[in-house]
Amino acid sequence: MSRFSTRLLTPACAGIFVAALAVSAGAQRGQAPPARPPQTSAPPATTGTAAGADPREATARRLCIQCHPFENVVAIRRTRAQWEATVENMVGRGARGTPAEFASIIDYLSEKYGLSGAVVRGSAGPDDKPLVDPKADEAARPLWGADCQICHGPDARGTGRGPNLVRSLLVLSDRYGSKIGPYLRTQHPKLPSGKILEPTDTQVLLFAHFLRARLNDTLRGSPLFRPGNILVGDAKAGEAYFTGAGGCTQCHSATGNLAGVASRIGDPVNLQQRFLFPANAFGGRRGGAPQPAGRPVVRVTVTPPSGPAVTGDLVTMDDFYVTLRGEDGQPRTFRRTRDLRVAKTDPYAAHIALLDVITDTQIHDVVAYLWTLK
Amino acid sequence: MKRLTLCAVLLVSAAAASAQQQIPTDAWPSYNGDYTGRRFSTLTKITADNVKHLSLAWSYRLSVQGAGPIKGTPLMVNGVTYLTAPDHVWAVDARTGREIWHWENKSTGGIQIGNRGVGIKGDYLYVETRDCNLVSLTIKDGKERWRKNLCNLDQYYYASVAPIIVGNHVICGVSGDDLDVPGYVQSHNAETGEMEWRWYVVPQKADDPGIESWPSLEAAKHGGGMTWQPVTYDPELNLIYVTTGNPQPVVAYANRKGDNLFTASIVALNPDDGKMKWYFQSSPHDTHDWDATQTAVLFDGELNGQPRKMLAQASRNGKFFVLDRATGKALVSSDYVKTNWAKGFGANGQPLPNPEKDPQVAGSLVTPNQGGATNWPPPSFSPQTGLFYVSAAQAYSVWYIYDPGENPQGWGGTDRGGWSQNMLQAIDYKTGKVRWSHKWEGGGLSGLLTTAGNVLFTGDGSSGNFVALNATTGDPVWHAGVRVPVSNGAITYELDGLQYIVVGAGDTLWAFVLND
């Protein structure tokens, strides 16, 4: 085994890696290449339900498998913000659950399927794809900057002088330097400076981690996968729209229910999302705070042909049955027939109607205005 | 025994031959039942009037926990139903739901999002595995005959498509849009498994057709265009119709300006050599992950007073197209839901994208959303009503660029949030206008089946019902609460004089029958 064992390069052992770097600092060309880590060092995360499992997992499974295998949902690791956005997207596409259930799912997925950790079975690519040690990625940067960046670019996506390595078949098939090492030592051309590359085993390993990290940067769960500056609108124009054509003041007031809204939400993108899609607001809770009480819900009034109208919170409805929760808190189900009248009141109807008419400029202006309400 | 086997082969061959024009009444031998993609059965025992008497015949829950949901179309031949989940194939008795055999692939990777089903030719099944293999199984016992590589897992491809058998060709597509790799469709010999040809969706050489629609060969070679869906086939024209996926990078597009041919397109190929005859691009320069892999449905009929051999697609971008399937010329172009991303249609019938509705750093409100106005669940066309039916959504989301640089890779952005209204749209193919629309309370899309009994079968999304509607009026006339969304389309066949309707929902296959 090499002095510098790649088995130490799993994220869980990142601290040990730093110490190992010091030990291996004198590693020279000619040493045996680093061994590929045995699969047992990083077993694919299991996603089966086990006795004593986190109860939030059962909730997540129940809601997610309506449309996807659960393994597919967690195949992409994400930041908390990305999980919040993902769950909101699913709500927007019709996922059914209570606010508390969605909140617990976000918590669970963020904790269990954050960015670091083992490969999940069922995720993109081969099951034995290399893991990235963030410390190795960091340690590689000076080396990359010194010898590689001039031709391959800071992100390894190539320049006019050297090819794109993120798309390189050799890099994609590499396992902890298994392909990169031999190539650098025997086939890589001289550097522009005339220098011949003679990387140590440690340096090869660092390059391997760096390049896999740049590949991962392009995937959907990338830590770089976050919005840029969306505050590009005109706040004054936004205020005019808010108080005028937008009709927002029918329900909202800058000094009333929206006073301090920018501070409460704390992020311009979340503010934009709440404004456009308020019904999806299960994420974006700062610090995982619970949902505010009194959140408006869809109401429904059912009028049977032979009885009084019954009004309550809508529980579920399809072409055949409607279930509501009345004042007594008990669910009540009606079979939908031709002579049963059903009237639904969506508290967000005005926001939904806006989607058909509002322009991107008006959206940006309104967000710029709302951002002033701190 | 040999004589029995020969008889079985002849029966299956006869079924395959008749499947070219319409679905046999005693089998469902391929993904769409026949080569046309219409998913229309001539069976008439179940009608819009008597469907309310439909009752449960049997149900089969997948024998491997966590393998589902069932997202493929089951096939039924000679009284046996074959269904799949990623890396699994089951054979169950089509009369009772009793499991006959189960095959499992020991996978080495690939996305576990779904498998669309098997292909059948004679005594053999063909299935794609998520770790990039085409596997042939013996139909009687599920034993593996051979396996051939379809794609490279290291490039994050995977395989999920139901193979379509055309003559002795097994036509296979590939999946995966994580990395910037080219899509392709390829043919394998049904007996030996050897690859016969491969057609790349995007140019791989400087003189390949379509290169003028890319800024560079580097961009084209890595330009994506996965072939997620089974092809349809016209035996008279000897053309297969391939529908292709989105270009890469998916959302950030700075390094792929142009139309990005032949991504997000309908392409006619010769099944014998993979040569392209014509193309029609449903989403030029797609920047919203919409692709155009929805089934190219083939039918003959009258249009503007002339008999026509037509092809229709309700594309994920919200546009409906009717083409002359011999030439690719557009005959009808319309919106089947409201869209806000195009400035209209060009003279060639293709949409004219509005650059202002491309994804933006500050966000752009677009309809449809990433899920699309429709998606992979198959549509249906009834020659009886002349209506093209599609599970649809009016869906909004905001599209963001996350990588504003000049050389994005992979995705570089996405959409977020959204509001959607799901519905079933019945489109008059002659005008492209929606004849009727039935809105669902739940979200999600389901596949479709129509029958000569004037019945349309589908699901109502997350409400969890399997629903029958009057195909002429769109009125719901029967339902069964299966508790989870119906995924792919239902199939129908007649055995022992009884017409069965079989559909997958979650990890369970449900069979309904109209008893005498």
Q: DSSP string covering B177-197, please?
A: -SSS---EEEEEETTT--EEE
Residue in B131, B286, B289, B507 annotated catalytic? B289
The verdict on whether B289 is a catalytic residue reads yes
Predicted pLDDT at B15: 37
Per-residue pLDDT tens digits for B264-317: 999 999 999 999 999 999 999 999 999 999 999 999 999 999 999 999 999 999
Sign for the pseudo-dihedral over CA of A133, A45, B402, A238: negative
In sequence order, what are the residues at sequence separation of 6 or more whose Cβ sits closer than 8 angstroms to the Cβ of residue B509?
Answer: B59, B60, B61, B70, B74, B81, B83, B92, B97, B502, B503
Query: Which residues on chain A are in Cβ contact (under 8 Å) with B110?
Result: 122, 124-126
The tokens for B272 are 């014998």
pTM of the complete model:
0.89
DSSP designation for B357: G
Per residue, the 3-state secondary structure of B290-309, as one string, reads CCCCCCCEEEEEEECCEEEE
Decide if B9 contacts B122 (C-beta within 8 A). Answer: yes
B 238-277 residues inside an 8 A Cβ radius of A: 249
Whether CATH 2.60.40 fits A55-112: no
In sequence order, what are the residues at sequence separation of 6 or more whose Cβ sits closer than 8 angstroms to the Cβ of residue B476?
Answer: A319, A320, B438, B467, B468, B469
Q: Between B112 and A183, where is the model more confident?
A: A183
Query: Which residues on chain A are in Cβ contact (under 8 Å) with B395?
Result: 92-93
Nearest residue to B315 via CA among B364, B353, B347:
B353
Q: Shortest Cα distance from A289 to chain B (angstroms)? A: 20
Query: Which residues on chain A are in Cβ contact (under 8 Å) with B176?
Result: 124
Query: Which residues on chain B are in Cβ contact (under 8 Å) with A279?
Result: 419
Please check whether residue B113 touches A, CB under 8 A: yes
- Assigned domain for B258 exists: no
A 335-374 residues inside an 8 A Cβ radius of B: 352, 355-356, 358, 360, 363-364
Q: Shortest Cα distance from A86 to chain B (angstroms)? A: 8
Please check whether residue A165 touches B, CB under 8 A: no
- Assigned domain for B410 exists: no
Instruction: Please name the member of A85, A94, A124 whose beta carbon is closest to the beta carbon of B156.
Output: A124
What is the number of domains present in chain B?
A: 1
Q: Which residues pair with B139 in a beta bridge?
A: none
Instruction: Please name the member of A93, A126, A158 whose beta carbon is closest to the beta carbon of B420.
Output: A93
- Assigned domain for B462 exists: yes
For the beta carbon of residue A342, count every other beta carbon within 10 angstroms: 14
Query: Which residues on chain B are in Cβ contact (under 8 Å) with A81?
Result: none
Chain A interface, mutation test: which of B84, B409, B458, B478, most A Cβ atoms within 10 Å? B409
Predicted pLDDT at A117: 61
Query: Which residues on chain B are in Cβ contact (under 8 Å) with A212?
Result: none
Q: Residue B51 is part of which domain span?
A: 43-68+440-516
Q: Shortest Cα distance from B107 to chain A (angstroms)? A: 9
The reply to whether residue B418 touches residue A85, judged by beta carbons under 8 angstroms, is no
Nearest residue to B233 via CA among B40, B36, B18, B38:
B36
Nearest residue to B514 via CA among B1, B48, B188, B121:
B48
Nearest residue on chain B to A318, alpha-carbon basis: B441
B 168-197 residues inside an 8 A Cβ radius of A: 176, 178-180
The tokens for B446 are 């389901």
Instruction: Please name the member of A70, A89, A167 whose beta carbon is closest to the beta carbon of B417.
Output: A89
Query: Which residues on chain B are in Cβ contact (under 8 Å) with A317?
Result: 441, 463
- Residue B420 host element (H or E): strand B413-428
Average pLDDT, chain B: 94
Q: What average pLDDT score do residues B357-386 get?
A: 97
- Assigned domain for B55 exists: yes
Torsion of the alpha carbons at A165, A167, A173 and A177, rounded to the nearest 10: 20
The CATH code belonging to domain A6-41+127-216 is: 1.10.760
Q: What is the spatial distance between Cα B479 and Cα B467, in angstroms, rounded to a whole number?
A: 4
Peptide bond into B368 cis (omega under 30): yes
- Assigned domain for B268 exists: no
Please check whether residue B463 touches A, CB under 8 A: yes
A 29-48 residues inside an 8 A Cβ radius of B: 47-48
Per-residue pLDDT tens digits for B171-220: 999 999 999 999 999 999 999 999 999 999 999 999 999 999 999 999 99
Please check whether residue B479 touches A, CB under 8 A: yes
Nearest residue on chain A to B505, alpha-carbon basis: A66
For the packed helices A55-64 and A99-112, what is the interaxial angle rounded to 10 degrees?
A: 110
Nearest residue to B452 via CA among B487, B489, B492:
B492
Q: What is the spatial distance between Cα A340 and Cα A337, in angstroms, rounded to a whole number?
A: 5
A 262-281 residues inside an 8 A Cβ radius of B: 269, 272-273, 276-277, 279-280
Amino acid at B198: R
Q: Shortest Cα distance from B419 to chain A (angstroms)? A: 5
Low-confidence ranges of chain A (pLDDT < 50): 1-51, 283-291
Answer yes or no: is pLDDT of B123 > 60: yes
Decide if B90 contacts B141 (C-beta within 8 A). Answer: no
- Residue A21 host element (H or E): helix A14-23
Query: Which residues on chain A are in Cβ contact (under 8 Å) with B422?
Result: 94
Q: Shortest Cα distance from B13 to chain A (angstroms)? A: 36
Predicted pLDDT at A121: 67
Predicted pLDDT at A119: 63
In sequence order, what are the residues at sequence separation of 6 or more whose Cβ sits closer than 8 angstroms to the Cβ of residue B480?
Answer: B54, B56, B465, B466, B510, B512
Please check whether residue B79 touches A, CB under 8 A: no
Phi, psi of B42 (to 5 degrees): -80, 0
B 329-348 residues inside an 8 A Cβ radius of A: 338
Q: What is the spatial distance between Cα B516 and Cα B511, in angstroms, rounded to a whole number?
A: 16
Please check whether residue A252 touches B, CB under 8 A: no
The reply to whether residue B109 touches residue A364, judged by beta carbons under 8 angstroms, is no
Q: What is the spatial distance between Cα B156 and Cα B304, in angstroms, rounded to a whole number?
A: 46
Per-residue pLDDT tens digits for B13-33: 333 333 347 899 999 999 999
Predicted pLDDT at B16: 39
Nearest residue on chain B to A172, alpha-carbon basis: B154
% of chain B with per-residue pLDDT over 70:
96
Q: Shortest Cα distance from A26 to chain B (angstroms)? A: 33
Nearest residue on chain B to A224, alpha-carbon basis: B402
Please check whether residue A62 touches B, CB under 8 A: no
Predicted pLDDT at B254: 97
The reply to whether residue B158 touches residue A319, judged by beta carbons under 8 angstroms, is no
Q: What is the spatial distance between Cα A73 and Cα A59, in angstroms, rounded to a whole number?
A: 13
